[in-house]
Amino acid sequence: MLADEQRRRIYDFVRRATAPVTRDQVAEAVGISRKLAAFHLDKLAAAGLLETSFPRPAGLRRVGRSPKAYRPAGTDVRVSIPPRDHALLAGILLDTVRGPGSPGGAEAAKRIAASRGRELGEAERAAARPGRLGAERALTLASGSLERCGFEPERCGPGLLQLRNCPFHPLAEQARDLVCGINQAFLAGFLDGLGAASARAVLDPGPDRCCVELRSVGPAR
Q: What is the CATH number of the domain that holds 18?
A: 1.10.10.10
Per-residue pLDDT, averaged over 47-74, amounts to 76
Judged against a pLDDT cut of 50, whether residue 82 lies above it is answered with no
Which tens digit of pLDDT belongs to each residue from 111-151?
888 988 999 999 999 999 998 888 899 999 999 889 888 88
Selected residue with higher pLDDT from 87 and 178: 178
Q: Is residue 91 part of a domain?
A: no
Could you read off the pLDDT of 159-196 as tens digits, one per residue?
999 998 887 777 777 788 888 988 999 999 999 999 99
Residue 207 covered by a domain: yes
Question: What pLDDT, on a 0 to 100 scale, did the predictor assign at position 208?
Answer: 74
pTM above 0.75, yes or no: no
The H or E element spanning position 161 is strand 160-163
Residues 114 and 39 in one domain: no
Query: Residue 28: which domain range?
Result: 5-72
Per-residue pLDDT, 152? 85
Residues 200 and 123 in one domain: yes
Residue 143 inside a domain? The answer is: yes
**Most confident range, picked from 61-65, 162-166, 169-173, 198-202:** 198-202
Overall domain count for the chain: 2
| 83 domain-assigned | no
117 and 201 inside one domain: yes
Question: Do both 22 and 68 map to the same domain?
Answer: yes
- Tell me: do 110 and 35 sit in the same domain: no
Using left for φ > 0, alpha for ψ between -120 and 50, and beta otherwise, residue 27 falls in alpha
- Higher local confidence (pLDDT), 166 or 25: 25
